[in-house]
Amino acid sequence: MRAVTLTDREIACRAGEGDVPAFVQFVGRYRAPLISYVYGLTGQRDDAEEMAQEAFCRAWEKLPTLRQPQRLVSFLYRIAHNLAVSEGRRPRPVTLPAEPAADPPRDDPGADVHRAVAHLSDEHRVVVSLRHFAGLSHEEIARALGVPAGTVRSRLSRAYDRLRPLLAHLLED
Amino acid sequence: MTPEPDPLEPLLDAAGRSTQPADPAWDHLPQRLAQTPQQRRRRRLWWLAPPAAAAAAAVVFLALWRFTPPVQADSPPIEVKRLDVDLTVLGAADQDEATLYMPLLRLGPFTVGGAPLTPRRTGQALVKDHRLILNLQKGDNVVRFSDVAATIDPTSVRFVSTTDPVGTQVIEQNFEYDLVNADALLHRYIDKEITCVGRDGRETTGYLTAHDPENVVLASAPPDPARQKPRETQVLPRRTLQAIRLKEVPADLLVKPTLVWKLHADKPGQHDTTVSYLCGFVKWSADYVALVTPGVAGQPDLLDLTGWVTLNNESGTTYEKAGLKLIAGDVNRVRDPWAPLLPQAWGHALPSSGPWGGRGGGVPKELVEKSFFEYHLYTLTAPTTVRDQETKQLKLLGQTGVKAQRRYVFDPYRDGSQNLAVELVARNEKENHLGVPLPKGRITFEEIDADGEAAVTGHTEIDHTPVKEELTLRHGHAFDVVGEFKQVDPTHFEMRLRNHKTTDVQVRAVGRIQLGQKVAESSLPFVMHDATTAHFDFPLRANAQQVIRYTIEGKPEIPGAIP
């Protein structure tokens, strides 16, 4: 059993050599924010989980080609983003309506928030996702994305400015 | 001055908390990762690029000029993607036995989805899986078709490519079910080096020679076919170990059961395919609730009949957004000759269908009934996800105001010589607010008590009941209507029925005879229900008695005997 908590960079190095448990630790750390991120992009809760798993698998597969291990999180989000975009373009087979339970309820504020976050630009969406869906500090986000902490703060601030009008109906309550 | 807290951030935090992983497939991700090969790191040999490109161009030019070989591109891996799935579930028979060839169940104690799978009524379903196979090459291909039921009958698999039905054929099929578990894994390490970590942290490395649930046997050296060097062995009790360290998981061990095909394709590329197979441990049953409103002043009782389908999936896989069909009727099954004989008790271990309460939310999907061969087919109007280890309930019908006549049945051979059973008899017709084929199932009776609450007053079972037939619901035994049965001599019988109620009742007395016999005389008119059953139907007034006397004649026949 692994008791040591590894940094993202250490995970990238170890997983690049085929260390599955190290990468599993990474999965545990980022799966919830990644699901939220993909959910925002696709609007499909179930698909988001499936796509997040696929993104982790692809990241694992291509990990040895990652030249900057400190950029592992950006790498993962980029893969997830590409997957969500290509999935959106793919023609889907015509199916009967899905189960009602699979769709978010109309009055679900969480669904509204994810839809609003999906309207942000890529770099803003990533910082919001890491800050609020993964619970990382500004410094941790900075390390994960390989940018200064000040940049993280300014991106967050701009993201909030864009989100406020989109979520005005929830903020007024 | 303290700045006003921004309400946006808590809102975002709450949205993040609400999106937690729920898909059980996350648990299998480590195995999936372990089976996914990683790409090799590319070396930065930029300086080689121009000469390599020139050399490649020259080779291609020469090849095109001199030869005309088939161009073998670096073929992408074959992928199988599920498009949709249909599930047709057969009703579980009363005396259900293992009728499918399910090899995975022969491995002994086996778990699907973590729950032990004990032998009991297996049920069966036809799965029609519509999948896209990508990147098929012309010629022979190896296709791995996973996410099939663990209880699949591999002998029932049928494969059709709608893209090229004639040119695409399965040449060979293997059902691989050597699933990853601790023992299977350890067995693969016989004669290989492993490390045992003791509870005190001490590590012992050696070559695995044998293992069982109690012990692990390690040798000091690898096996020597010539047996020239003696090997030291050490027995390590497993209770003293905290871990056994292995090098890597063998690639041929599977996380889930998989069909592996050698598939011949004339047409390369993408194929739209349909695979159908039978699997066990998917079953359904019908359950009904009859809310009885007793009739007053000789009026018939009224029934509000609600029917539910209880679907149980223990097949070891989930059917996402499946088109669901249920077949009602006793479908003929042939017992698998290799299946172990189960104790009779297991045959009656019905799964609990759960409490009746809590269903009030209503089910938005409907089951639509159609005739199908000699059976009835119920199709759900919208797809539904049938998860592994799940009991799903769907509404079958909801009919109100069904009129039912109350009948008191005196059948001394069945119920004893004193009791009269109470039956509610309703015509299964549209005029009677019913007129739907009713699959065999259990009925729970409810009645509104003095407090206005529905109280359960009994259970019974009904057989498959077609339209325009009589629906007979047996509802306990009467208190105030009693009977007596007496055999006066070998051919003379007497039945006395007494009604102590203050109202008239309708009574049916049942007389039994044997094959070859007949009722010669009787004090009341009767109808022969079948060769051995006579029905005496008559009204019995309040506080009155009716005596029935009948005489039989003829010699009983022995069934099957040659006259």
CB contact under 8 A, A163 and B30: no
**Which among B18, B32, B36 is the nearest to A110, CB-wise?**
B18
CB contact under 8 A, A99 and B18: no
| Residue recorded with tokens 């069934």 | B559
The predicted-structure confidence for B143-177, as pLDDT tens digits, reads as follows 988 888 888 888 888 888 988 888 898 888 888 77
CB contact under 8 A, B15 and A23: no
pLDDT for B543 beyond 60: yes
DSSP B129: E
**Which among B16, B23, B38 is the nearest to A61, CB-wise?**
B38
Strand partners, B140: B264
- For A30-69, b where at least 16 C-beta lie within 10 A, e where not — what string? bbbbbbbbbbbbbbbbbbbbbbbbbbbbbbbeebeebeeb
CA distance B250 to chain A (A): 14
How many of the other CB atoms lie within 10 Å of CB of B331?
14
A72-89 and A138-145 helices, crossing angle to 10°: 80
In this structure, the dihedral spanned by the alpha carbons of residues A136, A142, A146 and A152, taken in order and rounded to 10 degrees, is 120
Best of B28, B29, B180, B325 to substitute, by most chain A Cβ atoms within 10 angstroms, is B29
Q: Quick one: B344 exposed, middle or buried, by C-beta within 10 A (0-12, 13-18, 19+)?
A: exposed
**Rg of chain B on CA atoms, in Å:** 35
3-state secondary structure of B218: strand
- Judge contact between B324 and B386, C-beta under 8 A: yes
Q: Which helix (H) or strand (E) holds B462?
A: strand B454-462
CB contact under 8 A, B11 and A171: yes
CA distance A156 to chain B (A): 10
- Write the CA distances from B43 to A14, A65, A70, B318, integer angstroms: 19, 9, 20, 43
The predicted-structure confidence for A114-167, as pLDDT tens digits, reads as follows 888 878 887 888 888 888 877 788 888 887 777 888 999 999 999 999 888 888
- Domains, chain B, with CATH or none: 79-179+254-280 (no CATH), 182-245 (2.30.30.100), 282-334+362-477 (no CATH), 481-553 (2.60.40.290)
User: What is d(CA B429, CA B440) in angstroms, rounded to the nearest whole number?
Assistant: 17
Q: Which helix (H) or strand (E) holds A128?
A: helix A122-128
Are β-strands B269-280 and B215-219 bridged in parallel, bridged antiparallel, or unpaired? unpaired
Q: Which residue of B has its CA nearest to A65?
A: B41
| Contact list, A48 vs chain B (CB under 8 Å) | 19
The reported pLDDT for the residue numbered B327 is: 82
CA distance A145 to chain B (A): 19
3-state secondary structure of A111: helix
- Domains, chain A, with CATH or none: 8-171 (1.10.1740.10)
The predicted-structure confidence for B455-495, as pLDDT tens digits, reads as follows 888 888 888 888 888 899 988 888 889 999 988 988 899 99
- Judge contact between B440 and B463, C-beta under 8 A: yes
User: What is d(CA B232, CA B242) in angstroms, rounded to the nearest whole number?
Assistant: 23
Query: Which region among A132-146, B205-219, B265-279, B523-537 has the lowest average model confidence (pLDDT)?
Result: A132-146
3-state secondary structure of A135: coil
Between B275 and B70, name the one with better pLDDT: B275
Decide if B344 touches A, using CB distance below 8 A.
Answer: no
CB contact under 8 A, B38 and A35: no
CA distance A146 to chain B (A): 22
- Judge contact between B497 and B511, C-beta under 8 A: no
| Residue recorded with tokens 């049942």 | B510
| Residue recorded with tokens 């009645």 | B447
The predicted-structure confidence for B363-402, as pLDDT tens digits, reads as follows 345 666 666 566 677 777 778 888 888 888 888 888 889 9
| Residue recorded with tokens 């609400």 | B18
Decide if A85 touches B, using CB distance below 8 A.
Answer: no
Q: Which residue of A has its CA nearest to B23?
A: A49
B351-360 long-range CB contacts below 8 Å, 24 or more apart?
Answer: B351/B312, B351/B391, B353/B285, B353/B287, B353/B310, B353/B391, B353/B393, B354/B310, B354/B391, B354/B393, B356/B289, B356/B444, B359/B308, B359/B393
Ramachandran assignment for B362, one of left (phi > 0), alpha (psi -120 to 50 degrees), beta (any other): left
User: What is d(CA B439, CA B249) in angstroms, rounded to the nearest whole number?
Assistant: 49
User: What is d(CA B407, CA B300) in angstroms, rounded to the nearest whole number?
Assistant: 10
Q: Which helix (H) or strand (E) holds A125?
A: helix A122-128
CB contact under 8 A, A57 and B7: no
The reported pLDDT for the residue numbered B16 is: 77
Decide if B23 touches A, using CB distance below 8 A.
Answer: yes
- Judge contact between A7 and A29, C-beta under 8 A: no
Best of A132, A160, A169 to substitute, by most chain B Cβ atoms within 10 angstroms, is A132
Average pLDDT (B199-217) is 87
3-state secondary structure of B40: coil
ipTM of the complex: 0.77
3-state secondary structure of B84: strand
Chain-centre distance for alpha carbon B124? 6
Decide if B183 touches A, using CB distance below 8 A.
Answer: no
**Shortest CA distance to B481 belongs to which of B466, B468, B496?**
B496
Residue numbers of A between 23 and 82 with CB closer than 8 Å to B = 23-24, 27, 31-33, 35-36, 39, 45-46, 48-50, 53, 56-57, 60-65
Sheet-wide strand order for B481-489: B481-489, B492-499, B544-553, B518-522
**Which among A24, A39, A167 is the nearest to B8, CB-wise?**
A167
Q: Which two tokens stand for residue B101?
A: 């060839």
**Which among A27, A39, A56 is the nearest to B19, CB-wise?**
A39
Instruction: Count how many Cα atoms sit within 13 Å of the Cα of residue B466 in the half-sphere of its side chain.
Output: 6
**Which among B11, B30, B38 is the nearest to A167, CB-wise?**
B11
How many helices and strands, by DSSP H and E, does chain B display? 5, 32
User: What is d(CA A124, CA A165) in angstroms, rounded to the nearest whole number?
Assistant: 16
Residue numbers of A between 102 and 121 with CB closer than 8 Å to B = 102, 109-110, 113-114, 117
CB contact under 8 A, B38 and A16: yes
pLDDT band at B197 (very low <50, low <70, confident <90, very high): confident
pLDDT for B340 beyond 70: no
The predicted-structure confidence for B412-421, as pLDDT tens digits, reads as follows 888 776 778 9
Query: Which region among B50-54, B176-180, B184-188 has the lowest average model confidence (pLDDT)?
Result: B176-180
- Judge contact between B391 and B311, C-beta under 8 A: yes
The predicted-structure confidence for A55-73, as pLDDT tens digits, reads as follows 999 999 888 888 788 788 8
Decide if B33 touches A, using CB distance below 8 A.
Answer: yes
